[in-house]
């Protein structure tokens, strides 16, 4: 799969990578990965720990220069114009972006400012966001006092505040209960319907089934890529979990022996 | 609102919201100046003097009488031999001993007399004062009897504690300590905290440039450090009458340079430390300890062992303390202190560049 060129033309893709490579000394963390994500797509980026996911995301978000190949995110070359990329993407990780000692409003205002929104834009979007989440009463509350599920929703909404073209979610649902996870995925779908491309990594294989398409990274390469139905058919598996185990296990065994 | 301004506003909020830490940081200079000022007794009375008179002639007896008749001194005994000195000091029977050689009168007449003052260094500050009293009496006596300039050389040795805190000089050292604490330690902790909680990741993916993040972190602490410096100077002046004899502007400019050096060190530490605890330990051991112990603040550089003496040269506080002492106590300006200030400036440039570079490297 990895040697196939991106199926979506570069101009139309939200994320587009060809032969994207990153080495650290003699270690090849990401080895010539080629893929593309369509605009408005919910794209699952799976892989075991150490498979190269984090390094790939760092390159796609303009944080780390590639050693080889090309990648474009939100229409800009990540190596040539990382600043343009950063302005057009949102990012949320399992570890929160929000500051516990600041209030909900102060956090929103801070990230609005960081992404160059005007005071007026911030005020308008914050009001709409708090209304949508039903958080109006909490606006002056310190974030540290909010329950985890609320924080997560708020964090996601803050990542979308500047209306990014692509939002990268790095294991966004770690440590929350299934009900909250379900609610969180509703937010993800809502964002995708609004035209935002969602690039998400997860450890929960049931969540992978919610994605439009998934890729599975093994040892720095993309070992499988397709819709969940396609992958299950290709590997004659009942679930993505099974597909994942089949791909990841030989490597883990090789590594541990 | 610009990205950078938002960042500084956020940082300021963090500082203002942590009331306890802020209170400690604001009150600490006041507390330390008061503590140091009051803990160091500067007027010493009833100093007990032991005279070791190996000569027993008219001159030595006359000097002993001069000592005995000095208001602040009390003669506890005149003995003939050196071996009695240490037990007397150890037992606390005497604070200071004056040793007169057997050829005292002859050498005094030739102008080459030497006496030895031995003091109990266990209480370094008290000992220093006691020793200076005896020295003064000896010199006055010599001036009266030899006519004109003093001809007695004094050699002083501190027993039990060869180090000696320089009394009255605590404000410059204190300034260095407070500024290092606020700039280096607090910056290091604050940056390490963002790494620890994971917010640094989000900041780095944002359009904020690494340099903006560092400067935004550092800026509010720069302000806080200045408030601290002024508080310390103010309290020292109002309560203890410690003056700033030279230019206050030059003092503040030098302090600014020193704060930049400290901030750069804080950034360097935090770019390597994975969490707050490591950053704090590194700042305490790597910066605050040398500022206290290796800068000449508490232990005079001259009394350090030979192999250690070059070390203070690389401690920024050493140079800063020299500058502040010069300006505050001697009232000298750039004409005298240009070298020390140049060293501080060079350190600031090198460390700021290293700090920015290290921060940039570590994000990859």
Domain at A182, CATH number: 3.40.50.300
- Which residue of chain B is at minimal alpha-carbon distance from A91? B202
Tokens representing A29? 């963390």
- Tell whether A95 lies on the interface with B, counting CB pairs under 8 A: yes
Kindly state whether residues B35 and B181 are assigned to the same domain.
yes
- Tens digits of residue pLDDT in B265-286: 999 998 888 888 999 999 989 8
Same-domain pairing of B35 and B90: no
| Residue among B184, B223, B228 at smallest CA distance from B32 | B228
Assigned domain for A34 exists: yes
Report residue B161's pLDDT band, with 50, 70 and 90 as the boundaries. very low
Same domain, B213 and B341: yes
What's the per-residue H, E or C state across chain A? CCCCCCCCCCCCEEEEEEEEEEEECCEEEEEEEEEEEECCCEEEEEECCCCCHHHHHHHHCCCCCCCEEEEEECCEECCCCHHHHHHHEEEEECCCCCCCCCEHHHHHHHHHHHCCCCHHHHHHHHHHHHHHHCCHHHCCCEHHHCCHHHHHHHHHHHHCCCCCCEEEEECCCCCCCHHHHHHHHHHHHHHHHCCCEEEEECCCHHHHCCCCEEEEEECCEEEEEECHHHHHHHCCCCCHHHHHHHHHHHHHHHHHC
Are residue B237 and residue B337 in the same domain, yes or no?
yes
A214 inside domain: yes
Say if A93 is an interface residue toward chain B (CB within 8 Å).
yes
- The pLDDT of residue A253 is 59
Average pLDDT across chain B, whole number? 82
| Residues of chain B positioned with their CB less than 8 A from the CB of A117 | 1
Tokens matching residue B242: 């410690």
Residue B125: pLDDT band with limits 50, 70, 90: low
Whether B183 and B129 map to the same domain: the answer is no
Question: Which residues are registered as beta bridge partners of A90?
Answer: A167
Which pLDDT score, from 0 to 100, does residue B149 have?
44
According to the model, what pLDDT value does residue A1 have? 42
Kindly state whether residues B128 and B91 are assigned to the same domain: yes
What kind and span of H or E run contains B158?
A: strand B153-159
Domain-ending residue, one of B159, B179, B211: B159
Work out the mean pLDDT of chain A and round it to a whole number.
Answer: 89
Q: Is B188 in the same domain as B323?
A: yes
Handedness of CA B265, B270, B271, B273 (dihedral sign): positive
Q: Are residues B223 and B84 in the same domain?
A: no
- Residues 103-132 of chain A with CB under 8 A from chain B are 106, 109-119, 122
Structural domain total, chain B: 2
ipTM of the complex: 0.86
On whether residue A115 sits in a domain, the answer given is no
pLDDT digits (tens, 9 = 90+) for B198-242: 898 899 889 998 888 888 988 899 899 989 999 988 888 888 777
In a domain, A4, yes or no: no
Q: Clarify whether residues B31 and B51 are in a common domain.
A: no
Using CA atoms of B176, B177, B181, B183 in order, give the dihedral in degrees to the nearest 10: 0
Task: Mark which of B109, B124, B159 sits at the end of a domain.
Answer: B159
Domain match, B176 and B136 both: no
Closest-approach residue (CA) in chain A for B9: A110
| Cβ contact B249:B339 at 8 Å | no
Same structural domain for residues B215 and B82? no
Q: Which helix (H) or strand (E) holds B126?
A: helix B124-146
| Closest alpha carbon to B7 in A139, A83, A117, A111 | A111
Q: What is the CATH number of the domain that holds B122?
A: 3.40.1710.10
CA distance B4 to chain A (A): 7
User: Which residue range(s) make up the domain with B308?
Assistant: 3-39+167-363
Same domain flag for B203 and B96? no
Q: Does some domain include residue A134?
A: no
The domain in which residue A204 lies consists of: 13-97+166-256
């Amino acid at each position: 799969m990895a040697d196939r060129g991106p199926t979506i033309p570069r101009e139309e893709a939200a994320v587009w990578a060809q032969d994207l490579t990153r080495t650290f000394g003699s270690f090849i963390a990401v080895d010539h990965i080629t893929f593309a994500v369509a605009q408005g797509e919910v794209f699952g980026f799976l892989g075991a720990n150490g498979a190269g996911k984090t390094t790939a995301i760092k390159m796609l978000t303009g944080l780390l220069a590639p050693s080889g190949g090309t990648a474009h995110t939100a229409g800009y070359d990540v190596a040539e114009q990382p600043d343009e990329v950063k302005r057009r993407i949102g990012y949320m990780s399992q570890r929160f972006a929000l500051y516990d000692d600041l209030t909900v409003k102060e956090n929103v205002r801070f990230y609005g400012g960081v992404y160059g929104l005007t005071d007026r834009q911030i005020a308008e979007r914050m009001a709409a966001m708090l209304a949508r989440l039903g958080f109006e009463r909490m606006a002056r509350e310190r974030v540290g006092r909010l329950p985890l599920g609320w924080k997560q929703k708020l964090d996601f909404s803050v990542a979308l505040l500047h209306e990014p073209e692509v939002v990268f979610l790095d294991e966004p649902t770690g440590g929350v209960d299934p009900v909250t996870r379900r609610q969180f995925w509703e937010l993800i779908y809502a964002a995708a319907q609004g035209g935002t491309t969602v690039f998400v990594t997860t450890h929960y294989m049931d969540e992978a089934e919610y994605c439009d398409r998934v890729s599975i990274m093994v040892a720095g390469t993309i070992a499988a890529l397709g819709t969940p139905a396609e992958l299950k058919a290709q590997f004659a598996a009942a679930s993505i979990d099974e597909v994942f185990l089949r791909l990841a296990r030989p490597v883990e065994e090789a590594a541990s022996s | 609102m610009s990205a950078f301004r938002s960042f500084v506003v956020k940082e300021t909020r963090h500082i203002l919201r942590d009331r306890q830490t802020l209170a400690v940081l604001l009150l600490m200079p006041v507390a330390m100046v008061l503590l140091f000022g009051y803990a160091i007794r500067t007027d010493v009375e009833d100093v007990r003097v032991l005279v070791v008179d190996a000569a027993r002639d008219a001159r030595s007896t006359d000097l002993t009488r001069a000592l005995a008749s000095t208001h602040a001194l009390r003669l506890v005994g005149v003995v003939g031999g050196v071996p009695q000195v240490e037990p007397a000091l150890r037992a606390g029977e005497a604070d200071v001993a004056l040793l007169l050689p057997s050829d005292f009168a002859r050498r005094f007449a030739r102008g080459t007399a030497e006496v030895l003052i031995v003091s109990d260094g266990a209480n370094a500050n008290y000992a220093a004062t006691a020793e200076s009293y005896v020295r003064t009496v000896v010199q006055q006596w010599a001036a009266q009897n030899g006519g004109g300039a003093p001809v007695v050389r004094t050699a002083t040795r501190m027993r039990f504690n060869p180090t000696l805190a320089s009394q009255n000089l605590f404000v410059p050292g204190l300034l260095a300590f407070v500024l290092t604490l606020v700039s280096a330690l607090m910056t290091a902790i604050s940056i390490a905290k963002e790494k620890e909680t994971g917010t640094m990741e989000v900041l780095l993916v944002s359009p904020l440039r690494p340099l903006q993040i560092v400067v935004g972190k550092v800026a509010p602490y720069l302000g806080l450090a200045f408030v601290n410096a002024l508080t310390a100077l103010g309290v020292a002046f109002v309560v203890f009458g410690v003056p700033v004899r030279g230019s206050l502007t030059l003092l503040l400019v030098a302090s600014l340079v020193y704060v930049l050096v400290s901030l750069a060190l804080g950034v360097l530490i935090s770019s390597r430390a994975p969490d707050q605890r490591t950053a704090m330990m590194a700042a305490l051991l790597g910066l605050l300890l040398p500022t206290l112990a290796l800068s000449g603040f508490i232990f005079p550089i001259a009394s350090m062992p030979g192999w250690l003496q070059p070390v203070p040269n690389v401690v920024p506080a050493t140079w800063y303390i020299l500058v502040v002492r010069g300006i505050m106590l001697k009232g000298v300006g750039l004409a005298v202190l240009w070298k020390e200030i140049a060293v501080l400036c060079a350190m600031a440039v090198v460390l700021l560049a290293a700090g920015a570079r290290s921060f940039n490297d570590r994000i990859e």
